[in-house]
Structure 1
Amino acid sequence: MAQQGIAVIGAGMIGGAHAAAYRQFAHRLGGAVLHSVCDMNPAQARDLAEKYGFQRVTDDWRQVIADPEIHILSVCLPNFLHTEVTLAALAAGKHVLCEKPLALSADQARPVRDAADKAACVSGTVFNYRRIPALAEIRSRMDAGDLGRPVQISVLFQCDYAADPMLPHSWRYEFDRAGPGALLDLGTHAVDMLRFMFGDVAEVVGAVSTISIPARHLPMGAVTGHGHVALSDQTAVVDNDDVMSGLVRFANGAQGFVSASRVAVGAGNRLAVELHGTKGTARFSTETPSFYELALFAPGQPSNFTRYPNRPSSPAVGALAPVPHDLVSVGYAEVFGYMIHDFLAAIAAGRALENGSIEDGYRAAQVLDAIQRASVVNAPVPVAWQD
């Protein structure tokens, strides 16, 4: 992989996570160089490039895709730009990692899936939570049959970044540019975790949506991430959800509950997963990242929970963690790095990225569409997962 240039398109909050991860792992894979940061805000692009050691900046993503020195890129733009830029990158033969959601709808995601299937380059959707060692180990236990047949799963992604009503209005609060609000921003990860653990969803039985802050003040200046800026007297309507919850039925007959909130005061950034099988229960929360808990059924014995800590043998810990030792916490930045490592390793090996593919992004979009639709029609909505 000699001298393959890496670019990050979008220098906002999540672009920084990509840039940091590339800096950490690019040198381990033989000659990849940190080439460019692209953002329509040149000062923001320069700041990110200087912070993580990228060589150049530009304000035009088309220049990045046309540059023959750039072979690998991350799409870290607002949701409504993901499809256009990812399709252009695939058409140009670039290896591309697209932030979630892959698109605003499954109809928009389908052409991306089709293009990725035909392309010779490596592509993927950002599903970094699959790389949390505890969750990866729970998945391995499910595959091994330790928990028996899948029965029920709940996945809650709760954040409080939008709980402050004085947070400025931005594209995140507009359905046309962000799609469903908390559902797409956070629920994409939650839905992917449903699929990661239990497989394809056949039907959304029901869903409910809430907008708890119906309007926000327009900002006086540029907004980065979830930051505060001076506000004008004018307000704009929030027309996508602050909270969305859905009840689903899986193709294997199991049931699931998924919920996403951006206004859960005190939640910070919490993903909680609990799953039940005929032989046992596993549970995990990002608030306690150094372990998961498992209770296994034994006839005539109490089914108590046992903690299983991160260990050198846990997925990713021994190979990549800076301190591979029992109970050492693995944080968000490290897990994000593991995903970038997997992406670069797939490129180096000339193989597909299977754990978080474009196909996975498309399948998640199908479920997200069905949840959104069920919240509107107040009736079950099937998921066309077979196509």
Structure 2
Amino acid sequence: MSAQGIAIIGAGMIGAAHAAAYRQFAHQFGQASLRLKTVCDMNASLAQELAAKYGFEEIKSDWKTVLADDEIAVVSICLPNFLHTEVTMAALAAGKHVLCEKPLALSADSARPVRDAAKAAACTSGTVFNYRRIPALAELKARISAGEIGDPVQISVRFQCDYAADPLLPHSWRYEFAKAGPGALLDIGTHAVDVMRFLFGDISEVVGATSTISVPDRYLPLSASVGHGHVELSDQTAKVDNDDVMSGLVRFVNGAQGFVTASRVAIGYGNLLAVDLFGTKGSARFSTEMPSFFDLARFDDDAAGAFVRVTNRPASPAVGDLAAVPHGLVSVGYAEWFGFMIHEFLSAVQNSTPFENGSIEDGFRAAQVLDAIQLASASNGPVQVRWQD
């Protein structure tokens, strides 16, 4: 790779995850070729804090100047949802290698031109589906593909958080449909839908869905907030017009059925992704609360159908090559599997190969399913997913 700089556009909570991962792995691709160069945010103090913490060279306030910088080659887009499409399209047009946070867009119609631009571009691009890099889930995917659970029958994926359970959390773009799209569904349900697709394949139909807004109004803040932080509140409120909870029943192209649910008001669940899946020969279960293993039950095992724990070990995906301590059952957490994704992305950039495990196409396919879930909830009826489009 020739001399190249890395830029993060958006210095909030998720921008910090990108910064930490680049700092962890960029040096493996040669200090002379990959530089932690720019953090961009309209909030200069926030950008400066992030740049200083992770060793970036400079800050900027206008993302357009980042894309015009010839020294920048790799860009992470960590902005609010409603800006993802515009900035990703501009970055692709500028010839940058682009990693866009989920969701790729607020709708499939908005995601489609991004998908088309990514296909036509010579640069590497991807959507942030970091949960695919959890070693346990990656190994489970390989075992499913190898036929160890037989034909897929059923899967349940739930993503439950409690960051919005406090009614005194200030109103922000996250609670406006025009800026965030559907609430819990798009914010965290995007990950749940992608995990379903990752493990069981494309979804052909949303049979039914339902949504709930449990906190209908929130107080407006007196100052800017970062992530899900609290700030001093005014005495004025604004409506919440996107979902706090959304659930859907789906059917896969292969005939299996699935249940997906996302909640941002599940008290006691800080950030839980849980998977239960069933096939004609076996079952498996996994939870991010215990990320160092998954449980697998098969009829042809000596255990005769009882669950057996499959733990992280050096042979697990990414563990032997990338984990700080590649040893059996040593915990691998969020920051590490986020870093595994960044390493995979930088490897694709260096080798000029497609980033297929969480591609822009995957972001588009997820958007199609998310649209269908919304429509099924609004219409109280089944909706076909046009995944071939």
Determine if the TM-score, normalized by the shorter chain, exceeds 0.5: yes
Q: Show the 5 A alignment for 1:300-339.
A: 302-339=304-341
Which of 205, 208, 215 is residue 207 of structure 2 equivalent to? 205
> Deviations along 1:191-228, whole A, 9 cap, x unmatched?
00010001000000000000000000000000100000
Tell me, in whole angstroms, the C-alpha distance in 1 between the residues paired with 2:271 and 2:299: 32
User: Residue type matched to 1:282 in 2?
Assistant: A
User: Residue type matched to 1:140 in 2?
Assistant: A
1:267 aligns with 2:275: no
Q: Is the 8 A contact 2:206 2:248 kept in 1?
A: yes
When the two chains are superposed, the root-mean-square deviation of aligned CA atoms in Å is 0.9
Q: Show the 5 A alignment for 1:350-365.
A: 350-365=352-367
Q: Show the 5 A alignment for 1:114-129.
A: 114-129=116-131
Tell me, in whole angstroms, the C-alpha distance in 1 between the residues paired with 2:116 and 2:130: 23
Q: Show the 5 A alignment for 1:1-387.
A: 1-30=1-30, 31-298=33-300, 302-387=304-389
Name the count of aligned residue pairs. 387
2:241 aligns to what SS in structure 1? Answer: coil
Task: Find runs of 4+ consecutive structure 1 residues off by over 2 angstroms.
Answer: 298-302
> Deviations along 1:102-124, whole A, 9 cap, x unmatched?
00000000000000000000000
> Deviations along 1:68-89, whole A, 9 cap, x unmatched?
0100000000000000000000
Task: Label 1:223 to 1:303 Cα distance change in 2 as closer, same or farther (>3 A).
Answer: same
Tell me, in whole angstroms, the C-alpha distance in 2 between the residues paired with 1:146 and 1:299: 11
Task: Label 1:301 to 1:309 Cα distance change in 2 as closer, same or farther (>3 A).
Answer: closer
User: Residue type matched to 1:13 in 2?
Assistant: M
Query: Alpha-carbon deviation of 1:299?
Result: 9.2
Question: What 5-or-longer segments of structure 2 have no aligned partner?
Answer: none
Query: Alpha-carbon deviation of 1:298?
Result: 3.4
Query: Alpha-carbon deviation of 1:303?
Result: 1.4
Query: Alpha-carbon deviation of 1:290?
Result: 1.1
Tell me, in whole angstroms, the C-alpha distance in 2 between the residues paired with 1:300 and 1:314: 23
1:293 aligns to what SS in structure 2? Answer: strand
Question: What 5-or-longer segments of structure 1 have no aligned partner?
Answer: none
Tell me, in whole angstroms, the C-alpha distance in 2 between the residues paired with 1:97 and 1:82: 10
**Equivalent pairs: percent with the same residue?**
72
Tell me, in whole angstroms, the C-alpha distance in 1 between the residues paired with 2:290 and 2:367: 29
1:97 aligns to what SS in structure 2? Answer: strand
Tell me, in whole angstroms, the C-alpha distance in 2 between the residues paired with 1:206 and 1:347: 40
Q: Is the 8 A contact 2:298 2:304 kept in 1?
A: no
Tell me, in whole angstroms, the C-alpha distance in 2 between the residues paired with 1:12 and 1:52: 13
Tell me, in whole angstroms, the C-alpha distance in 2 between the residues paired with 1:167 and 1:17: 22
Compare 185-194 and 298-307 and name the one that shifted more. 298-307
> Deviations along 1:10-56, whole A, 9 cap, x unmatched?
00000000000000111111220001000010000000000000001
TM-score (norm 1): 0.99
> Deviations along 1:305-338, whole A, 9 cap, x unmatched?
0101100000000000000000011100000000
2:231 aligns to what SS in structure 1? Answer: coil
User: Residue type matched to 1:288 in 2?
Assistant: M
User: Residue type matched to 1:54 in 2?
Assistant: F
Query: Alpha-carbon deviation of 1:297?
Result: 1.3
Query: Alpha-carbon deviation of 1:184?
Result: 0.2
2:163 aligns to what SS in structure 1? Answer: coil
TM-score (norm 2): 0.99
Tell me, in whole angstroms, the C-alpha distance in 1 between the residues paired with 2:222 and 2:290: 38
